[in-house]
Amino acid sequence: MITCFDIGGTAIKSARATSPQDIKALDRVPTPLNDFDAFAAAIGRIATEATGNDHSLVSISLAGVIDADSGRITCANIPCIDGRPLVADLEAVLKRPVLIANDADCFAFAEAILGAGRGHRVVFGAILGSGVGGGIVIDGKVLTGAGGFAGEWGHGPISATLAGNPPVAIPRFACGCGQTGCIDAICSARGLEKLHRYLHGMEATSTEIIDAWTSGDANATHTINCHVDILSDALALVVNVLGASIVPVGGGLSNSMPLIERIDAAVRNRILRKTDKPLVVRGECRIEPGLIGAGLLGLEARP
């Protein structure tokens, strides 16, 4: 038995896992953002209540990347752990082995093992939410790569500068990572809102834009056409490079099936391997995929 956690800037969610088919939710508590001792204590309390003092594994999914060389984590939304050798620090406090994985990797692993990626050798899990991220699973193993950044297709100066039909000029927006022209800056939920504002001078949430598009609004349709063009160019390249045969999508934008279907058609039209089967699909692990992925990774890694 292990304890698994999905930790974000708002909440620490937890579960107890005894097998891939038996992952039961436990507690949900606020995330201490600026107090490491409180952060570690919250995890320790839940783990002890779940498994006693048996020194069983703690497996954690969070929105951060651990450098394989230094062991230090980059995690901007939880300041008290950013820059720490987090595995070593938590193991010292908890007196348990600790496994930490990126939340997009956990999503991709959950989809590969229990979701839409079952039966596929190469799975690319794409996150389209407040940010754009991804994880790679090949033959049932997560590929983290140098520095732990494998799968991070949202970053890099590759955003198209012409999009839509007829094509219109699109600027390369500044990204929070420090670069300009990242897919994250224009194809995330916030990026979609930024694109709509640029094209039409209108303020609207991503949900409002998608609802207006599905209702036939001309301005929203123009925005979505440009958004899909830019996103599918980049995603098609990822599929070509990896040879992925399925791309489960998570994050808030995946709640719109019409949008996922549009992206799927556009990506399949751009890749080298032609197929009539759906490629870009909504993830099947709709409830806490990060927590499920952390549980699955922990069960695989436990002594």
Q: What is the pLDDT of residues 158-176, one digit of tens each?
A: 999 999 999 999 999 999 8
Strand 168-169 vs strand 247-250: parallel, antiparallel, or unpaired? unpaired
The answer to whether residue 121 scores a pLDDT higher than 80 is: yes
State pLDDT tens for residues 182-231: 999 999 999 999 999 999 999 999 999 999 999 999 999 999 999 999 99
Sheet containing strand 58-62, strands side by side: 22-30, 11-19, 2-7, 58-62, 98-102
Phi, psi of 102 (to 5 degrees): -65, 145
Average pLDDT over residues 250-267: 97
Question: Hey, is 137 helix, strand or coil?
Answer: strand
Tell me the mean pLDDT in the region 235-248: 98
Closest to 155 in 3D by CA, of 194, 125, 185: 185
| Exposed/middle/buried for residue 24 (C-beta within 10 Å: 0-12, 13-18, 19+) | exposed
Which two structure tokens, joined as six digits, stand for 185? 């800056």
How much of the chain exceeds pLDDT 90, in percent? 87
pLDDT at residue 123, as a whole number: 98
Q: 166 by DSSP, 3-state: which?
A: coil
CA dihedral 83→86→89→94, nearest 10 degrees, is 150
Q: In angstroms, rounded to a whole number, what is the distance separating the alpha carbons of residues 104 and 295?
A: 14
Per-chain mean pLDDT for the chain:
95
Q: Could you tell me which of 249, 36, 237, 301 has the C-alpha nearest to residue 123?
A: 249
What pLDDT does residue 147 have? 81
Residue ranges of domains in the chain, CATH in brackets: 2-102+287-301 (3.30.420.40), 116-282 (3.30.420.40)
Looking at residue 122, the DSSP 8-state letter turns out to be E
pLDDT tens digits along 65-108: 898 888 999 998 899 999 999 999 999 999 999 999 999 999 99
